[in-house]
Amino acid sequence: MKTDFWIERWQKREIGFHQRSINPYLQHHWPALGLAPGTRVFVPLCGKSLDMHWLHDQGHSVIGVEVAREAVADFFKEWGVQPRIAQAGAFERWQFGHIELWCGDFFDLSAADLGDVGAVFDRAALIALPETLRQAYAKKLREILPASSPVLLVTADYAQHEMPGPPFAVSDAEVRTLFDGSRIELLEENDVTDVPDNQRFRERGLSRLVERVYRVG
């Protein structure tokens, strides 16, 4: 899937994937990571997620990466602040306080960019990618993150033939293959098929939707 797909979705405001509230899995499971105040947290393919505000309110500095400039601009506009904007290599870096959003392609990141990151929250990155890119994504994470940085990962699983992604179906078996060699702990698993917010998936032909939350690393 090319970056143009996501840029176009944001330009057309076709952003049904954007959550209008803080992710409950994040709120429930994040404290168990036991991170020190001030730990820098990475949010890949972040959009304008409100989860970044929640992480900031917990005392973390936050770095998000997002390819769509509209999403980055919306984040700060809706926050009501004026960020500093500067070019940093392949990225346009928007920064206010302890939140930085880097506008550019996730795959252009280097280990030097994330060398001080202490944890990752992935609610919308892995499941935004087709199968052909998920292995590359997991490999890239291993390359650019410090080995000690845990990932709180949220996935969606369903019969892929029933609905074209995104979000794409990611099974438990695939998670364990993608992150083979890392500690993988399944923290929570829920059938959310009949949750009102998921009605749009029913309308697209989905018969069952399962969400899983993992700690990786």
Domain residue spans of the chain: 3-14+24-216
Contacts of 88 (CB under 8 A, 6+ apart): 102
Q: What is the pLDDT of residue 34?
A: 95
Instruction: Give CA 41 to chain center in angstroms.
Output: 11
Instruction: Give CA 100 to chain center in angstroms.
Output: 15
Q: Give the strand pairing for 61-66 and 99-103.
A: parallel
Q: Is 128 exposed, middle or buried (0-12, 13-18, 19+ CB in 10 A)?
A: buried
Q: What is the pLDDT of residue 59?
A: 96
**Residue 1 pLDDT > 80, yes or no?**
no
Backbone angles phi, psi at 62, to 5 degrees: -125, 135
Q: Letter for the amino acid at 160?
A: Q
**Residue 208 pLDDT > 70, yes or no?**
yes
**Residue 16 pLDDT > 80, yes or no?**
no
pLDDT band at 49 (very low <50, low <70, confident <90, very high): very high
Helix (H) or strand (E) holding 73: helix 69-79
**Residue 209 pLDDT > 90, yes or no?**
yes
Q: What is the pLDDT of residue 14?
A: 64
Total-model pTM: 0.94
Q: What is the pLDDT of residue 112?
A: 96
pLDDT band at 117 (very low <50, low <70, confident <90, very high): very high
Q: What is the pLDDT of residue 17?
A: 64
Encoding tokens for residue 162? 């029933």
Q: What is the pLDDT of residue 184?
A: 98
Tell me yes or no: is domain 3-14+24-216 CATH 3.40.50.150.
yes
**Residue 7 pLDDT > 90, yes or no?**
no
Contact (Cβ atoms closer than 8 angstroms) between residue 155 and residue 186? no
* DSSP-assigned beta bridge partners for residue 185: 215
Core vs surface per residue 194-204: b (16+ CB within 10 A) or e:
eeeeeeebeee
Q: At what angle do helices 69-79 and 3-11 cross, to 10 degrees?
A: 40
Express each pLDDT in 59-103 by its tens digit.
Answer: 999 999 999 999 999 999 999 999 999 999 999 999 999 999 999
**Residue 18 pLDDT > 80, yes or no?**
no
